[in-house]
Amino acid sequence: MKYLALGCSHGKIPKIKTKDFDSILYLGDSAGYQKARTLVNKWLKEVYNHGSSITFEQFVGRRIYSNLQKKEIENARKVIEYINSLNKKVYTLPGNWDYYKDRFHKYKKNYYKKVIIKNLSNVKDLHLKYTENKDHVIIGYGISTNSEIKTPFQYNYYFKRLKRLFIKAKKKKKPVIFITHNQPYNTRFSRIRDKSSPVNGMEGGSNVAKDIIKKFKPLLCIGAHMHEHFGKIKVGKTTCISAGYGMKGDKVLIDAGEKINSIKFIRK
């Protein structure tokens, strides 16, 4: 199977020049746009650097807040509609920007499903889910934006759910592709290298993703989230790919069957 992997479009419709792929692995974060990012960074600075407990709505004010919501949702929907229109199967999951609980806390949890990816026939949400095609089992883990260790409940919940899916996958005797929004913890891809971010230099990877990879050794792990990292590394036996920053044009073509045949990184 040939896959086109990309994520973190953040409101920008991707330019896809090649048709030489069977399916798309869309790694989340279709939502968000530049104004929102600037404001979120300022808000996070208050929260992280000054210990404030102000909500995003209080920080930006009600009018800007509701405009941002509207714009972000429109943008996210445009990106996913475009990806759906390519007439390929789209395996996807919500990124942290598609999960409105953090910033737009009044939204219901399932907003992603009820609005962003609603009624798009090619799009398959794989967050904590499992699917298979002729060559692979694909398992997804979305949303995660941190190491999960400060909240053991969160770690245990996600790890157990994924573990169940990986055990089920073993019976299929097909290689597993693990798609995750975040990157595995404490790897070359997991440290934040973004000077504009209030959390620059911090470790931001996922322990759940890392521990699942170590335990079940999927053929591939493909993530996004850390826009500054674009490339591949090995974590144990697993080849891990960071799909970079979709908004700037990063994407990856992967040809894999029982083994990985080729990986091509495309900028622009």
Instruction: Give the nearest distance from C-beta 246 to Zn ion in angstroms.
Output: 8
- Token pair belonging to 65: 């807040």
Instruction: Give the nearest distance from C-beta 212 to Zn ion in angstroms.
Output: 21
Sign of CA dihedral 82, 253, 142, 65: negative
Instruction: Give the nearest distance from C-beta 83 to Zn ion in angstroms.
Output: 15
Stretch that binds Zn ion, among 25-33, 51-59, 72-80, 106-114 (CB under 5 A): 25-33
Stretch that binds Zn ion, among 1-9, 43-51, 104-112, 255-263 (CB under 5 A): 1-9
**Nearest partner of 15 among 82, 89, 87, 95, judged by Cα:** 82
What are the backbone dihedrals phi and psi of residue 92, each rounded to the nearest 5 degrees, phi first? -145, 180
- Neighbour count for residue 232 (Cβ, 10 Å): 18
Q: Is residue 94 within 8 Å of 127, Cβ to Cβ?
A: yes
Comparison of 96 and 207: residue with beta carbon closer to Zn ion? 96
Stretch that binds Zn ion, among 4-12, 125-133, 195-203, 258-266 (CB under 5 A): 4-12
Instruction: Give the nearest distance from C-beta 259 to Zn ion in angstroms.
Output: 30
Residue 98 region, left (φ>0) first, then alpha (ψ -120 to 50), else beta?
alpha
Among 5, 6, 8, 179, binds Zn ion (CB under 5 A): 8
- CA–CA separation, 181 and 211 (whole Å): 15
Comparison of 117 and 169: residue with beta carbon closer to Zn ion? 117
Residue 11 region, left (φ>0) first, then alpha (ψ -120 to 50), else beta?
left
Instruction: Give the nearest distance from C-beta 99 to Zn ion in angstroms.
Output: 12
When asked if residue 247 is in the footprint of Zn ion (CB under 5 A), the reply is: no
Among 21, 26, 27, 29, binds Zn ion (CB under 5 A): 29
Stretch that binds Zn ion, among 5-13, 161-169, 189-197, 206-214 (CB under 5 A): 5-13
Instruction: Give the nearest distance from C-beta 62 to Zn ion in angstroms.
Output: 26
**Nearest partner of 83 among 96, 92, 71, judged by Cα:** 92
Task: Point out which residues bind Zn ion (CB under 5 A).
Answer: 8, 29
